[in-house]
Amino acid sequence: MTNNKLSKEDMKRVEQFLNTPVNQVERQPFKPMKLLFIITLVVIGFGVLSRVVGWFYLNSIVS
């Protein structure tokens, strides 16, 4: 015995919605190493940028 909280009409609407082409798009598999690589590059990039900005700022004060 199933314990559905939705009526049969609502379940029919849910099934129709889930069967629409928008909800059946094939997606590429998730690649955690690619995400880690991108995040690492962004963090390193911001670190280098902050060092360059700091270097220019300190040189402008000393001059």
Residue 55, token pair as written in the block: 């270097």
> H helices of 19-31, where?
none
Q: Where are the domains of the chain?
A: 8-62
Q: What digits encode the pLDDT tens for the residues 23-59?
A: 677 889 999 999 999 999 999 999 999 999 999 999 9
Cα first-last separation, the chain = 82
Q: What angle do CA 29, 32, 36 make, to 5 degrees?
A: 145
Average pLDDT over residues 8-32: 86
Q: Which of the two residues, 14 and 51, has the higher pLDDT score? A: 51
Supply the pLDDT for residue 2: 61
pLDDT number for residue 9? 92
Query: Which carries the bigger pLDDT value, residue 8 or residue 23?
Result: 8
